[in-house]
Amino acid sequence: MTRSPDTPPLKDNIFADPQSRSDFVFDEKVAAVFTDMINRSVPGYGTILSMIGVLAARYCTPGSHIYDLGCSLGGASLAMAHQIEHSDYRLLAIDNSPAMTTRLQKRLQEPDSAGLPIEVVCQDICESQISNASVVVLNFTLQFIAPAKRQALVQKIADGMRPGGILILSEKIRFPADDLNELFIDLYHQFKRAQGYSEMEVAQKRTALENVLIPETIEAHKNRLSQVGFRSCDVWFQCFNFTSMVAVR
Ligand X SMILES: Nc1ncnc2c1ncn2[C@@H]1O[C@H](C[S@+](CC[C@H]([NH3+])C(=O)[O-])CC(=O)[O-])[C@@H](O)[C@H]1O
Ligand Y SMILES: O=C(O)C(=O)Cc1ccccc1
* Cβ-proximal residues to 217 (8 Å cutoff; 6+ apart), any chain: 173, 174, 175, 176
SS3 164: strand
Tell me the helix, strand and coil percentages in the chain, rounded to 5. Answer: 40, 20, 35
- 76 belongs to the binding site for ligand X (CB under 6 A): yes
| Shortest Å distance, C-beta 96 to ligand Y | 15
Query: Which C-beta is closer to ligand Y: that of 23 or that of 219?
Result: 23
Among 40, 47, 45, smallest CA distance to 14 is for: 40
CA-nearest of 124, 64, 75 to 95 is 124
Q: Of the listed pieces 5-13, 14-22, 104-112, 137-145, which binds ligand X according to CB under 6 A? A: 137-145
Contact between residue 68 and residue 92 where contact means Cβ atoms under 8 Å apart: yes
Size of the site for ligand X (CB under 6 A): 20
| Single-letter residue type at 65 | H
Q: Residue 141: what are its φ and ψ, rounded to 5°? A: -115, -40
Nearest distance from C-beta of residue 120 to ligand Y, angstroms: 20
Min dist CB 246 to ligand X, Å, is 15
DSSP string over 39-86: HHHSTTHHHHHHHHHHHHHHHPPTTEEEEEET-TTTHHHHHHHHH-S-
Which residues from 157-216 bind ligand Y, rule CB under 6 A?
172, 205, 209, 213
132 annotated as a binding-site residue: no
Give the per-residue contact string, 36-75, with ligand Y (x = CB under 6 A; - = no): -xx--xx---------------------------------
Chain contacts with ligand Y (rule: CB under 6 A): 37-38, 41-42, 172, 205, 209, 213
Q: Which residues are annotated as a binding site for S-adenosyl-L-methionine?
A: 45, 70-72, 95-96, 124-125, 139, 206
Chain contacts with ligand X (rule: CB under 6 A): 26, 38, 70-72, 75-76, 94-97, 100, 124-126, 139-141, 144-145
Q: Which residues are annotated as a binding site?
A: 45, 70-72, 95-96, 124-125, 139, 206
